[in-house]
Structure 1
Amino acid sequence: MTSHRPASDLEKLPVKLADITAAAKVIGSSVTATVCNESRTLSEICGCNLWLKFENLQFTATFKERGALNRLSALSAEERRQGVIAMSAGNHAQGVAYHAKRLGVPATIVMPVGTPMVKVENTRRHGAVVVVTGATLEEAGAYAAELGETHGMTMIHPYDDPLIIAGQGTIALEMLKAVPALDTLVVPIGGGGLISGMAIAARTLKPDIRVVGVEAELYPSMYNAIKHTQLPMRGDTLAEGIAVKWPGKLTTEIIRHVVDEILLVSEPEIERAVAELINIEKTVVEGAGAAGLAAVQSRPELFAGRNVGLVLSGGNIDTRLIASVLTRELAREGRLKQLSLDIVDRPGQLAAVASLLAEAGANIIEVSHQRTFSDLPAKATVLQLVIETRDRAHLEEVLARLSAAGLAARCD
């Protein structure tokens, strides 16, 4: 992985700039040329000049439309009649389903168990037959391959296909046209189709540009493949769109040649990035789409002073999950806290605590008494509160006031 590969190496790759420019003509106006805007606030926070490519504003809220349409457009008349099949954790499914319906091609999508319901329902809404099976994307893929072969359907792979890769690479063409000064691209990696296409396009047009990939810490599959490590892959990640255990063969070789570095981001870092994009940019981005910002925020020294382009790759996230992410971030910032206080169980005690908190400028969100499941004497109770404060310093001030009043609060 190096930023100084000779141009001749690019010519040896299975996808070339000509394929990507051809894909741009194929998808044309059927896919939105999304805006690439500078975020002055995030630039200041991150210490670099930051531009955001809003692929979450595609009709299906995902960049996956690009590759899906490019691949579907290459089907023969007989293949269109027989229909297509794909495996997907959500976004590829929607891209295939939407454009297959536009082109009059029957589509079946196999999605793994645990795929967010918003992605399942959106895929059905676009007219595809949805089959939910398999504990992982790989298991869903094995079932899709078997089902497709049985019924003569063409497999539309989510990333390991030159036409898919070329379609995704059109994003880099648009970004460099909008902001020629970009010297760094930060791109999420699942199976590797997006970063492969973008890196080929960017490196051909601007050989010295730096391309950085980002994976969820829980699923470092491409990191392992490139760096020959064996980091574990496990658990539920907010970035389920890039939770891939086995990256593509084509994409692995492309990334080995044209990507400079792969960074891993933790779940709290991804949650923070999702929350900041909502709070600062007023845009809803799923975990995978926020991974790039998470990387820049967690490793600012790698991007200091550079002109950085981030791809907000998708915006398909459950509203319940958004609420959870936002409240968890408030808790991390000290603006939302759960407290437990041991008090005498008699009239007026709750009012006294409430009055003290009001004087300190804290807002009570929730309140409950725990009389049964505690080791306190029968005439005492545990008062449990969720309070809202301005920031961590204000929280410390509130706790100090409680302590001064003889109420030692425990932070749960």
Structure 2
Amino acid sequence: MNIIPVTKDLSLKRTIDQGTADQRQAVSEILQSVRSNGDEAVRQYTKQFDHVDLQDTLVTEAELEAAYASVTEDMLAIIREAIENIQDFHQRQVQQTWMTTKEDGTILGQKVTTLDAAGVYVPGGRAAYPSSILMNVIPAQVAGVKRIVMTSPPQQDGKLSDIVLVTAHELGVEEIHKIGGAQAIGALAYGTETMKPVDKIVGPGNIFVALAKQLVFGTVDIDMIAGPSEVAVLADETGNPSYIAADMLSQAEHDPMSSAVLVTDDRTLAEAVSREVTEQLQTLPKKEIAEASINDFGAIYLAESFEEAIDAINELAAEHLEIHAAHPWDVLPKIRHAGAIFLGEYSSEPVGDYFAGPNHVLPTNGTARFSSPLNVEDFTKKSSIISYSKQALEANGKKIAAFARLEDLEAHARAVEKRLEADNG
């Protein structure tokens, strides 16, 4: 890897793929067809794109039970422990309805209400991602969402991956449909004869899924439009080159467009990490993917000071940030922009992906400047509560009416003054 000086033009940020005009048109047509033709359109597109002819897309209880035969007890125990860890973390995010009463008798507050239904999209294709199920379903369940619908593209045999089914079953997800692509997003947003619509859609997918989520936003809420995965490592001279290289490659193997960046003020470490990345690449099963990622979107930035390195990290606003430093907790207060922050050499990014507890659905492409990981609050909505007292209106009514007239809204002003006149007899 090339070692280059820190500049104002850092290369972690990439343009989020907005798709081609043909892709956008195709997705728009699919959504419109699903909205108009329901299940028939879903079956048609499933046959066309997934090459599976399904008359009933709903996963059966028999399919769920059969899936357990291929999952070892050891793996099942790991999944169950991960569920406990993730549930425990998200329980701490729960917000309560609150009220406050003023001396004049006015009551103000905020009512927290759980969404009625959420849709979780789980990618299929070449790999199964049970961790995606955990991270998207658990915060919805902790929030109290009563109906959770999961969709995932079917395999060639018309079924879903055993590990996907087992993970969903362990969480108690009862409504699982063998549907993928834009047609799944359309079914979740608009509903069909066999699927009621949801209020929010979460979960990653390919460009067609991402475009579909963009187009249905407003009919339903969505989590985010996520880009390829990314990690930035901030390290001083105490960093372990082998660990840092391994963590950079753990992101690089996701996707040729994934990004892995090291920012350090120590040239010796930079050179050692560069050598380690080259060496460790040779034995990776996904060498071709990881190598493309490192070559196109990887970088080692050399700062003149550790403070300059921290500034560069804040500019990058990475999805995952690892801090390999002698005193990582002293660095933490200086970090303003990152999706998830991993402190110390034992906090490898995959710890957060699967097991620690915090959510791994994170803002990408610099959006950590203004957004947060998926959390329990994402599955709730808030209503303001206002109970104004007679005493408060008498004290403030004229000021409210004046403000309304400032905006040339006479009816607003009169609505308040009617009450003042009535009270004055």
TM score, norm. by length of structure 1: 0.31
Tell me which of the two structures has the higher relative contact order, counting C-alpha pairs closer than 8 angstroms and 6 or more residues apart: 2
TM score, norm. by length of structure 2: 0.30
